[in-house]
Homo-oligomer: A and B are copies of this chain.
């Protein structure tokens, strides 16, 4: 197939890890007979430096015309001045908005070779492989807010709101993803207390019954899910939830593998291009040293292959290659636990060598 990919290297270690992931995509294209075109665009601090805008219009246009976008990371101390007119992170928020990306995908997968890094006991973390779908553009973070006097006391409020279409579209995405995995979906809410959670639960149940009767479906309360992630994380397949609950639960879950440098993410909308990136930041302290861990970005490129290009075999090949280099004992400094470590380049080349 042919695909137009936009690369947004961004700041800090962004360029190094995106370069590494691009090499992997190039090898995949060659091996599987695809033609990927790459356009590199500015975002974040470097875009501020060169254009004054963390998301130049050229970048938006290129992203709109692309099939998928691979992002490194944005931000750094250089642009941290609180009096600055704009910040690198504003570029990231705006591109998500411009593209209507309402679903944030966060896989939490334990690589057996790194089980020692988990804060959980090996017998509990073993086999953990969860794919979270967090609703990204609704809920209380975007609800009406305000402050004023209530009964003579200074008060402030903010509303959690969900509408039926907002729930339908993310549940559909999550259920489809479940069909490509272990065919199980868990919806997390607080329907015993919250009105928008009751709407969420009702709507999700209807979508699942009408459109995905083959997918095994259950519901869990958010406080119970916060417990399950610690004492039986291996029991879950795909998990779908609202914006705030997803924020808390995916951050909690991101601790389980014990190595943030391994975790990719994706943001999807309806149809248009998806945005793929590592969950770690721009790590300005190690930028340019050639020691950053490229595996989260490489795994993000595997997600890109699967979710935006529908290239499941290719995605699985990349993921297997990552597992193999870990099994070979290769480690970047962040996951070496004091042992020998290799450079970004060596790690990237090891993955491409497995794929060639």
Q: Which residues of A contact B (CB under 8 A)?
A: 118-121, 124, 140-141, 143, 145-147, 150-151, 153-165, 190, 193-196, 198-199, 222-224, 226-227, 229-231, 244, 247-249, 251-252, 254-256, 258
Contact = CB atoms under 8 A, between A and B. Distances in A.
Contacts of A119: 120-121, 124, 230-231
Contact of A252 (B157, B158, B252): B252
From A120, A193, A249, name the one whose CB has the most chain B CB atoms within 10 angstroms: A193
Nearest to A230: B255
A227 B247 CA distance: 11
A274 to B, nearest CB: 23
CB-CB nearest 10 A-B residue pairs: A145-B195, A226-B252, A156-B199, A223-B251, A155-B163, A230-B255, A153-B163, A157-B161, A156-B195, A156-B196
A158 to B, nearest CB: 5
A143 B157 contact: yes
Contacts of A120: 119-121, 230
A230 B229 CA distance: 10
Contacts of A121: 118-121
B147 A195 contact: yes
Nearest to A165: B153
A157 B156 contact: no
A248 B231 contact: no
Contacts of A227: 251-252, 254-255
Contacts of A156: 161-162, 195-196, 198-199
Given A147-B195, A154-B163, A157-B160, 10 more contacts: A150-B163, A153-B164, A158-B160, A158-B194, A158-B196, A159-B160, A223-B247, A224-B251, A226-B251, A227-B252
Contacts of A159: 143, 157-160
A255 to B, nearest CB: 4
A162 B155 CA distance: 6
A161 to B, nearest CB: 4
A157 to B, nearest CB: 4
